[in-house]
């Protein structure tokens, strides 16, 4: 298969390219510059700019394209229209964020999504609205020959966000670990390598449709137990009530990763049966945790990661200790 990847040297794109090359496919990478130039010497590289210079894609043909870097409908339209007759199948990485509140536990792909037109192209301001608009655009430009993959929280080695990496690192440190009660609350994520491999699979098979792409939801407590077993630490989990965390303005999702309060918790409890039927498979959680922890230690990844786009992911040790003292005093 001749595969075009728009991007391909960062996190999810990187995982998809690795899978495609392992399967023996011919891969072409399209990006603006030499990000991670040492990666994939066997892949063809084309330079250009999705927002204004697609000239190196003109006059070429591929069997499929994987697009993990489309965020703005105007920009996506340019590539979709140019490639409409040049590729057999278009695999677009959307986001589970396209769903509108209120969320229902185990919601499927037919749940309500954002339908308003975005007011801005600033991705961090209207990420969900922009992704939903991108999906509508592909339905218009490429009806029947595209897949919209609504990815959940993507985790694993090379994760640039730190949102999952916090837990393997923190549990490995041992001691009392603040965790959001109840331990039975369900959470979801997907290993980047499983998702990348599946993107290649649906490109190979020209599988069309819309899919929630994330692991089946499982108890938070089970995830933390796996982190403890993998690291061999003496961590003791202190399950703190949600109301206590909210009263003290603990940040959901980022400061305390994978925690969403109240009805919003259903946002990470999506039904994934459609993607599983289409071939999405999952490695053991212990493998994702072990590989993430090994990568974090090897690269010196910090417990709390400061990012330019998303802010800090993870709870500062001083803040955790303060909250644990307050929780014990309250008891």
Give the model confidence (pLDDT) of 17-48 as tens digits: 999 999 999 999 999 876 677 889 999 999 99
- Residue 8: the pLDDT is 79
The answer to whether residue 278 sits within a structural domain is no
Q: Is the pLDDT of residue 175 over 80?
A: yes
Per-residue model confidence (pLDDT) at position 34: 66
Q: Are residues 122 and 173 in the same domain?
A: no
- Do residues 79 and 182 both lie within one domain? no
The model's pLDDT over 229-280, given as tens digits with 9 standing for 90+, comes to: 999 999 999 999 999 999 999 999 999 999 999 999 999 999 999 999 999 9
Question: How much of the chain exceeds pLDDT 70, in percent?
Answer: 99
pLDDT(168) > 80 = yes
Q: Tokens 């390219």 label which residue?
A: 17
Mean pLDDT, rounded, of the chain: 96
Q: Is 274 inside any structural domain?
A: no
Percent pLDDT > 90 in the chain is 94
pLDDT at 331: 62
Same domain? For 103 and 129 the reply is yes
pLDDT value of residue 309: 77
SS (H, E, C) the chain: CEEEEECCCCHHHHHHHHHHHHCCCEEEEEECCCCCCCCCCCCEEEECECCCECHHHCCCCEEEEEECCCCCHHHHHHHHHHHCCCEEEEEEEEEHHHECCCCCCCCCCCCCECCCCCCCCCCCCCHHHHHHHHHHHHHHHCCCCEEEEEECCEECCCCCCCCCCHHHHHHHHCCEEEEECCCCCEECCEEHHHHHHHHHHHHHCCCCEEEEECCCCEEHHHHHHHHHHHHCCCCEEEEECHHHHHHCCCCEECCEECCCCHHHHHHHCCCCHHHHHCCCCCCCHHHHHHHHHHHHHHHCCCCCEEECCCEEECCCHHHHHHHHHHHHHHC
Of 36-50, 116-130, 316-330, the range with the lowest mean pLDDT is 36-50
Say if residue 59 is in the same domain as residue 200: yes
Instruction: Please give the average per-residue pLDDT across 74-100, as a whole number.
Output: 97
pLDDT of residue 248: 97
Residues 251 and 232 in one domain: yes
Say whether both 136 and 248 belong to one domain: no
Q: Which domain holds residue 260?
A: 166-187+218-265+285-330
Report yes or no on 36 lying in a domain: yes
**129 and 15, same structural domain?**
yes
Residue 272 lies in a domain: no
Is residue 307 domain-shared with residue 195, that is, in the same domain? Answer: no
Task: Report the Cα 104 to chain-centroid distance in Å.
Answer: 21
Same structural domain for residues 203 and 232?
no
For the cut 90, the answer to whether the pLDDT of residue 289 exceeds it is: yes
**Gap between the terminal Cα atoms of the chain:** 61
CA distance 250 to 267: 18
Q: Are 92 and 147 in contact (CB under 8 A)?
A: yes
Question: Is 14 contained in some domain?
Answer: yes
Whether residue 276 lies inside any domain: the answer is no
Are 209 and 256 found together in one domain?
A: no
Structural domains of the chain, count: 2
In a domain, 279, yes or no: no
Please give the pLDDT value at position 283: 98
**pLDDT confidence of residue 268:** 97
Identify the bridge partners of residue 319 per DSSP, sorted by sequence position.
none
- Please check whether residue 25 lies inside any domain of the structure: yes
Q: What is the CATH number of the domain that holds 33?
A: 3.40.50.720
Question: Do residue 181 and residue 200 come from a single domain?
Answer: no
* pLDDT at residue number 219: 98
Give residue-wise pLDDT tens across range 144-163: 999 999 999 999 999 999 99
Domain identity same for 173 and 310: yes
CA-to-CA distance for 13 and 320, rounded, in angstroms? 34
For the cut 70, the answer to whether the pLDDT of residue 198 exceeds it is yes
């Amino acid at each position: 298969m001749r595969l075009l990847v728009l991007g391909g040297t960062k996190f999810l794109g990187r995982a998809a390219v690795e899978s495609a090359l392992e399967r023996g496919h011919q891969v072409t990478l399209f990006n603006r510059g030499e990000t991670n130039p040492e990666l994939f010497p066997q892949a063809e590289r084309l330079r250009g700019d999705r927002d204004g210079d697609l000239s190196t894609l003109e006059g070429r043909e591929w069997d499929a394209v994987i697009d993990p870097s489309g965020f703005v409908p105007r920009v996506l339209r340019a590539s979709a229209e140019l490639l409409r007759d040049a590729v057999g199948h278009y695999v677009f990485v959307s986001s589970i964020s396209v769903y509108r509140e209120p969320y229902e536990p185990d919601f499927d792909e037919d749940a309500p999504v954002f339908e308003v037109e975005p007011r801005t192209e600033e991705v961090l301001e209207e990420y969900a609205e922009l992704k939903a608009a991108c999906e509508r655009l592909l339905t218009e430009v490429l009806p029947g020959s595209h897949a919209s993959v609504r990815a959940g929280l993507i985790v694993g080695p090379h994760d640039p966000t730190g949102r999952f990496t916090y837990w393997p690192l923190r549990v490995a440190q041992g001691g009392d670990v603040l965790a959001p009660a109840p331990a039975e609350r369900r959470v979801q994520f997907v290993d980047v390598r499983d998702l990348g491999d599946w993107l290649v699979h649906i490109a190979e098979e020209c599988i069309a449709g819309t899919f929630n792409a994330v692991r089946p939801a499982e108890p938070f407590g089970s995830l933390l137990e796996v982190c403890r077993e993998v690291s061999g630490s003496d961590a003791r989990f202190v399950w703190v009530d949600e109301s206590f965390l909210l009263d003290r303005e603990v940040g959901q999702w980022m400061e305390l990763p994978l925690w969403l309060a109240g009805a919003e918790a259903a946002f990470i409890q999506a039904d994934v049966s459609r993607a599983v039927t289409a071939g999405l498979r999952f490695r053991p959680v212990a493998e994702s945790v072990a590989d993430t922890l090994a990568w974090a230690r090897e690269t010196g990844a910090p417990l709390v990661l400061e990012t330019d786009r998303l802010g800090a992911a993870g709870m500062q040790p001083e803040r955790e200790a303060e909250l644990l003292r307050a929780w014990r005093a309250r008891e």
